[in-house]
Amino acid sequence: MTAIHIDTLQNWKTKKNKFAAITAYDFSFSKLFANQGIPVILVGDSLGMTIQGHNSTIPVTIQNIEYHTKAVRKGAPNVFLISDLPFMSYYQVNQALKNTAKIIQSGANMIKIEGGKHLINIIKELSNRSILVCGHIGLTPQYINYLNGYKVQGKTEKSAKKIIEDALLLEDAGIKMLVLECIPSVLAKIITEKLSIPVIGIGAGRYTDGQILVMQDILGITEGKKLKFVKNFLSQSGSIQNAIQTYIDEVKKGIFPNQKYSF
């Protein structure tokens, strides 16, 4: 795989070429995913639940993200690598700059932060220093106590307008990519069309520029209640490699997610 850059993803949006992304946390899986052609990997704070066994992402530390970012970068040297800034690691500008430096030095191309317009100053400060920032709105797991659980966001006219407003404000502040999580597909379509930057969806329907899923969900090894937007690609694929290839192909062709996996 030739190296994937932000300009690559921007060009795909312009040409309406959909792309797949996946979470990964270690050398072996990131290497396998890269070998199958996954262009974007996220070292998500979802590792708090999938790797560490917590019931939320909140306990994850910046040291955890550093460790897993280094491992994933070794396995996938040419993918576009995004890493989360975990809970309360970017609430002040100086803190955000310090922690972002650690993550970029660990191998990430871009950092991802959760939230809306209250992050504008931090995004501007990072962008002014040529740091690539990915926004994340809709369902934001770091705010799970405030949101009263993992629920679909943007179902009312008022909340939908706020999500659209936040998306536009974040782009204006300097983000170069946006993740939309657990919102109605019609709302995601509006935002994707309004923004000039790539928009990646998870539980946000088929109209976004890209899709991302947690690797454990794709492979059907997540315990507990199955989320509506999750598809087990391994069950009929015969191997992990085939499952990832099927996922990539279905995203590119607009087959996944269909209405069954959308809100």
Q: Which residues are catalytic?
A: 181
Is residue 184 a contact partner of residue 207, using CB atoms and an 8 Å limit? no
What DSSP line would sit under 13-51, residue for residue? Answer: HHTT--EEEEE--SHHHHHHHHHTT--EEEE-TTHHHHT
CB 16: neighbour CB atoms within 10 A?
8
Omega before 77 cis (within 30°)? no
List alpha helices for the chain, DSSP H. 6-14, 27-35, 47-50, 62-75, 93-105, 120-128, 144-147, 157-173, 185-194, 215-218, 240-252
Could you give the CA distance from residue 47 to residue 45 in angstroms, rounded to a whole number?
Answer: 5
Distance CA 194, CA 121 (A): 22
